[in-house]
Amino acid sequence: MMKLDPKIPPGPLETKWDRRRFSEKLVSPNNKRKIRVIVVGTGLAGASAASTLGQLGYQVECFCFQDSPRRAHSIAAQGGINAAKNYQDDGDSVGRLFYDTIKGGDFRSREANVYRLAQVSTQIIDQCVALGIPFAREYGGQLANRSFGGVQVSRTFYCRGQTGQQLLLGAYSALCWQIERGQVTMRPRTEMLDLVVVDGQARGIVVRDLVTGQMSTHTAHAVVLATGGYSNVYYLSTNASGSNVTATYRAWKQGAAFANPCFTQIHPTAIPPGDVHQAKLTLMSESLRNDGRLWVPKMARDHRPPEDIPAAERDYFLERRYPRFGNLTPRDLASRAVKAVCDEGRGVGPGGHGVYLDFADVLHQEGLDVVRERYGNLFEMYQRITGEDAYHAPMRIYPAPHYTMGGLWVDYNLMSTIPGLFVIGEANFADHGANRLGASSLMQGLADGYFILPYTIGHYLATAKFTPVGEDHQKSRAALQRATARISRLLNSKGCRTAASFHRELGQLLWNHCGMSRNEEGLKLALTSIPALREEFWRGVMVPGSGEAFNQELEYAGRVADYLEFAELLCHDALHREESCGAHFREEYQTDAGEPQRDDSRFAHVAAWEYREGASPALHKEPLLFEFVPPTTRSYQ
Amino acid sequence: MALSGLGLVIYVIFHMLGNLQVFEGSHALNGYAASLRDMPILLWTARIGLLSLAALHIVLAIQLTFRNRRARPVAYAVREYRQASFASRTMAASGLVLLLFIIFHLLHLTADVIDPFSADRLDAEGHRDVYGKIVHAFQNPFIVALYVAGQLGLGLHLTHAVTSSLQTLGLEHAAFNRLFNAAGPTVALLVVLGNVAIILAVFFGIVRG
Amino acid sequence: MKFTLNIWRQKGPGEKGRFVTYEAGDVSSGMSFLEMLDSVNQGLIAKGEEPVAFEQDCREGICGSCSLVINGIPHGPDRGITTCQLYMRRFPDGAVIRIEPWRARAFPIIKDLVVDRRALDRVMQAGGYISVNTGGAVDGNVLLVSKDQAETAMDAASCIGCGACVAACKNASAMLFVAAKVSHLALLPQGKPERTRRVRAMLEAMDREGFGSCGNHR
């Protein structure tokens, strides 16, 4: 029976982390050299963790499926990173960042974790500056800030529209240093396919060398997963096409609880989908909502060009519904508002899948040059993709799956239900509750990797007992066997449909029944359709080539196979959560005004799912206690 | 590469300036030549220095060319250059043309092997008649064609060479980059114009014996 | 729209490659270049043939994975973008398009259009960082950096490390890649203490990897 012990230190909120750090056992420097740690993934969380662990003296083996650690998808984050520096003296503080994050997450995250996140946020900025990250500066030479998605203070640090890139390259450069020093062994183009668990402890992973196809087992004293989120389960998302659920999903099958999988964030400002061949959705930075105004025609099926629609016949729906936050309303509410007006037939563009994001006012007030300086690269990107000029006509945008708040369950020490398996960054269920605020994912990834995991993993390594485990251990061989059998099964299934066609079908199914809004009927339908689709996949998928060579189609088919199982878990979770909170909107649970209705009496808990062979997953609940911020209705009106 | 090249560029400029004295008549040019010959130690030091500089430049160039060829063992089937100029892409070729031209030039006007006609003539003042030699040489259309071709090779080479050498030396500054970028084409143009002016002036009878 | 593609196919490292012609039919002008290749590949897979291997990931021009030389130009005919940001409306209907991998000794071909770019990582490992430990950094505002300086550093830091500079260079030199990192760090006060060592180490590493020398084109 799985036991969920969050291990939150008792006592005052402000000193929980300090006290935990003090009470932790340390590993002596001599022993660190003998301890091996595996880190899977080299995004912000993985790269910062691997470099810091290497610097502390552990022997780190680091894996990524990309050709270089620098290509992890953190690189694509545009907007910025939050920190409670209060450089602008606009009333920000650790407490306020904590409060905003708890509230933004619709009271479905742990107070202690979120407070710690807000605390270390300031250290992250200092660390990044020391690493040479060229943050935007004021004329006086000080760090510049902007306000970002759903908060009323300016606490976001940024590097133009490429903050994720710069932060990742910073972490990557630190990783490079540790590789040069021999502390980290880097294995790019290597994909994790299974987890080795011995005596209940995570002791290694099974990987496939994507160039040679060779399968091998790597063992260590602890395993850290930093493998990102699973938005690609929807097929079309803003994630990189390689982003996948495989590592976390396979860990789940080995006994790690998966928490809140139904909390998937749909970002409001992506470029609307075009034709069927489209392979990805492109995000337009949320910062556009600082100056752009969202609107649709008041009349349904109004096909006039936007410039012919007079102001009186336009509905600035975010400003109307959320007058206090207007166009800066948090992502979940904004996305749903967009969907609502499109469902009413008022959407614009092909298929009615889109709303206008209009810059006419700011262009008129501040001039073309100002707008060009602020958003030039985004306008260019928009033009390249759509062939339209947003300086003259409003942009069209539509929501797209973007980030997943759900992930493997971890305790306060970031350890999963399998001792020795740590999960960091987007891969864990962590700190964002039911909805993540803008510029918070970079903060969480780096907080976990630089400042939290390196402490907490030390305590585990200092206190756990280890038996010798190598490649030849029976459990290692069994894990290798499992992964190899799966590869053979894929290669031997000689159907005639491509993996992509199954993926697209699954994505459509999920988008329709477990997307921006969900209902019991749709979810139940999805839960019967998914297994059928999965069966068809194993009967009818075509994977050409061999397993002993570079084979991109084989890699992809393996990931799709996991999505086809994972999607079911996602729907189970969405079905169980009979309330609307954050990104999870159940149509049955809304107010008369169409606002989400949270149910704290029944659902103020983390839903952690346990894998059961041949049966539906088992639900375990970690109650969420709010000692410091009493839950209120999350109102942005 | 850059340093030896710049040394040679400086020589080429002075060579051109010295020769321009042909426009001041035989007295000036032959006197200038004689004054160089009056300092044999300096002259031979300069000649040996120049030759070794040229040799060094050639050896380095060969090394570099092979290294760069090795860096791309399989060539592209189709190639379109966006940034690299024609001059920069043909440095090895223009260098080779230049080398052949210099050998010819030395055999022709320095060692008098090719056309010994005016080798030992003296002018009225008893100096070696360099002026007469030049006037004689550039009345021959074949020689003129060869020299003009050699000058075009030189021009092409210098266009990229000078700017490139400055960049190798790290001379890069937003305020001066236009100057540095213009240096190559300007030097090339001036040297070629100066030298070709002499050749054509003789050929068209502006400068006579 | 319809296109004729001449694509470099090569089974593995060190094997002999050749151009193979494929027809891409039913292409819409709003399709990206990679989506066009996807659709060609879907056709090949359905026929049981091996799809053309090419690299891509973020499909928004930032990860630096995609690496195609299109009609003799790395990342294709448009300036300032990567292959994944190239759209088919850029090509006339019926065009013949030649697709090659990055070609350089330092980038051995893994398969078809996929090359091994780890050489760039090794150049970075030689010195492309500021040696600073996690923790103990001073407050971010203690180091003042002028806006201009920060912007210039950011220009250099924007390098996505795709290797197109190597592919485009006549000499297959990685000088632009190295220069971008060197400039980014040397322009900031944090990077100054190690600047000399960094340049030497990275240049030596670049030579070791078999890149050509810089031709000083600009």
What was the ipTM of the complex prediction?
0.98
What is the band of B119 on the pLDDT scale with cuts at 50, 70, 90?
A: low
Residue B118 has a pLDDT of 67
**Residue A138 distance to chain C (closest CA, Å):** 6
Chains C and B, touching by 3 or more CB pairs within 8 angstroms: yes
Query: Which of A121-125, B25-29, C120-124 is predicted least confidently?
Result: B25-29
Order of strands across the sheet that contains C3-9: C18-24, C3-9, C96-100, C69-70, C73-74
What is the band of A13 on the pLDDT scale with cuts at 50, 70, 90?
A: very high
Which is higher by pLDDT, A468 or A430?
A468
Q: Please report, for residues A155, A174, A182, A429, C181, the alpha-carbon distance to residue C126 in angstroms, rounded to integers and kept in the order given.
A: 35, 12, 12, 36, 12
Separation of alpha carbons B98 and B112, rounded Å:
19
Query: How many C-beta atoms lie closer than 10 Å to residue A501's C-beta?
Result: 18
Asked if the model's pLDDT at residue A491 lies above 70, the reply is yes
Q: Where exactly does CATH 3.10.20.30 map onto chain C?
A: 3-114
**Residue B148 distance to chain C (closest CA, Å):** 27
Separation of alpha carbons A246 and A563, rounded Å:
8
Residue A231 has a pLDDT of 98
Asked if the model's pLDDT at residue A26 lies above 70, the reply is yes
Mean pLDDT of C73-95: 95
Q: Which residue of C lies nearest to A278 if distances are taken between CA atoms?
A: C35
Separation of alpha carbons A140 and A128, rounded Å:
19
Q: CB-CB: which of B76, B80, B160 is closest to C103? A: B76
Residue B124 has a pLDDT of 79
Residue from A260, A262, A281, A280 nearest A271 by CA: A281
CB spacing of A384 vs C45 below 8 angstroms: no
Separation of alpha carbons A539 and A606, rounded Å:
36
| Percentage of chain A modeled with pLDDT above 70 | 100
Q: Which residue of B lies nearest to C97 if distances are taken between CA atoms?
A: B78
Q: Which residues from B are below 8 Å from C211, CB to CB?
A: 71
* Whether B63 contacts chain C with CB within 8 A: no
Residue A373 has a pLDDT of 82
| A347 CB-near residues (< 8 Å, 6+ apart) | A296, A341, A353, A354, A355, A398
**Residues linked to residue A609 through DSSP beta bridges, in sequence order:** A258, A619
Q: What is the pTM of this model?
A: 0.95
Q: What is the pLDDT of residues C180-212, one digit of tens each?
A: 999 999 999 999 999 999 999 999 999 999 999
- Each domain of chain A, given as residue ranges in start order, spans 271-399, 474-601
Asked if the model's pLDDT at residue C39 lies above 80, the reply is yes
Separation of alpha carbons A306 and A296, rounded Å:
9
**Degrees to nearest 5, angle at CA A129 with A125 and A135:** 85
Separation of alpha carbons A243 and B107, rounded Å:
70
Helical (H) or strand (E) element with A167: helix A163-180
If 0-12 CB within 10 Å is exposed, 13-18 middle and 19+ buried, where does residue A102 land?
buried
What is the band of A149 on the pLDDT scale with cuts at 50, 70, 90?
A: low
A:121-140 residues touching chain C, CB 8 A cutoff = 123, 125-140
Mean pLDDT of A352-359: 94
Chains B and A, touching by 3 or more CB pairs within 8 angstroms: no
Q: Residues C62-72, buried b or exposed e (16+ Cβ, 10 A)?
A: bbbbbbbbbbb
Residue from A170, A160, A91 nearest A124 by CA: A170
Length of chain C: 218
Amino acid at C216: N
Out of 1.10.3720.10, 3.40.50.150, 1.20.58.100, 2.60.15.10, the CATH code matching A474-601 is 1.20.58.100
Separation of alpha carbons A214 and A550, rounded Å:
10
Q: What is the pLDDT of residues A160-196, one digit of tens each?
A: 889 999 999 999 999 999 999 999 999 999 999 999 9
Mean pLDDT, chain A, integer: 95
DSSP class per residue in C63-104: S-----EETTEET-SSSS--GGG-BGGGS-TT-EEEEE----
Residue from A205, A182, A165, A454 nearest A285 by CA: A165
* Whether A385 contacts chain C with CB within 8 A: yes
What would the CATH number be for the domain defined by A271-399? 3.90.700.10
What is the band of A277 on the pLDDT scale with cuts at 50, 70, 90?
A: confident
| A386 CB-near residues (< 8 Å, 6+ apart) | A271, A396, C30
Order of strands across the sheet that contains A146-147: A81-82, A154-157, A146-147
Q: CB-CB: which of B64, B75, B76 is closest to C213? A: B64
Token reading at B10 = 């400086």
**Residue C103 distance to chain A (closest CA, Å):** 17
| Percentage of chain A modeled with pLDDT above 90 | 87
Residue from A483, A518, A454, A540 nearest A222 by CA: A454
CB spacing of A387 vs C140 below 8 angstroms: no
Q: A196 — phi, psi (to 5°)?
A: -100, 120
Separation of alpha carbons A144 and A88, rounded Å:
9
| Percentage of chain C modeled with pLDDT above 70 | 100
Q: Which residue of B lies nearest to C213 if distances are taken between CA atoms?
A: B68
Residue A150 has a pLDDT of 64
Q: Which residues from C are below 8 Å from B168, CB to CB?
A: 216
Residue A507 has a pLDDT of 96
**Residue A251 distance to chain C (closest CA, Å):** 24
Angle of helix A552-576 relative to helix A499-513, nearest 10 degrees, comes to 20
- Residue by residue, what is the 3-state secondary structure of B40-100? HHHHHHHHHHHHHHHHHHHHHHHHHHHHHHHCCCCCCCCCCCCCCCHHHHCHHHHHHHHHH
Residue A378 has a pLDDT of 86
3-state secondary structure of A152: coil
Q: Topology of domain C3-114, per CATH?
A: Ubiquitin-like (UB roll) (3.10.20)
What is the band of A2 on the pLDDT scale with cuts at 50, 70, 90?
A: confident
Architecture of domain B2-203: Up-down Bundle (1.20)
Residue A328 has a pLDDT of 87
Q: B172 — phi, psi (to 5°)?
A: -145, 120
Separation of alpha carbons B192 and B184, rounded Å:
12
Residue A449 has a pLDDT of 98
What is the band of B166 on the pLDDT scale with cuts at 50, 70, 90?
A: very high
Residue A1 has a pLDDT of 66
Separation of alpha carbons C53 and B162, rounded Å:
43
Mutate to test the interface with C, among A122, A244, A280, A385 (most CBs of C within 10 A): A280
| B46 CB-near residues (< 8 Å, 6+ apart) | none
Q: What is the pLDDT of residues A104-133, one digit of tens each?
A: 999 999 999 999 999 999 999 999 999 999
Residue A274 has a pLDDT of 78
Number of H helices and E strands in chain B, helices first, is 8, 0
| Contact (CB, 8 A) for A361 and A293 | yes
Residue A374 has a pLDDT of 81
Query: Which of A146-160, A558-572, B142-156, C20-34 is predicted least confidently?
Result: A146-160
Q: Which residues from A are below 8 Å from C56, CB to CB?
A: 241
Q: CB-CB: which of B73, B76, B88 is closest to C217? A: B88
Mean pLDDT of C134-153: 94
Asked if the model's pLDDT at residue C59 lies above 90, the reply is yes
* Whether C143 contacts chain A with CB within 8 A: yes
Q: What is the pLDDT of residues B53-77, one digit of tens each?
A: 999 999 999 999 999 999 999 999 9
Amino acid at B107: L
Residue A411 has a pLDDT of 98
**Residue C2 distance to chain A (closest CA, Å):** 15
3-state secondary structure of A401: strand
C:51-90 residues touching chain B, CB 8 A cutoff = 69, 71-73, 79
CB spacing of C171 vs B164 below 8 angstroms: no
CB spacing of B71 vs C211 below 8 angstroms: yes
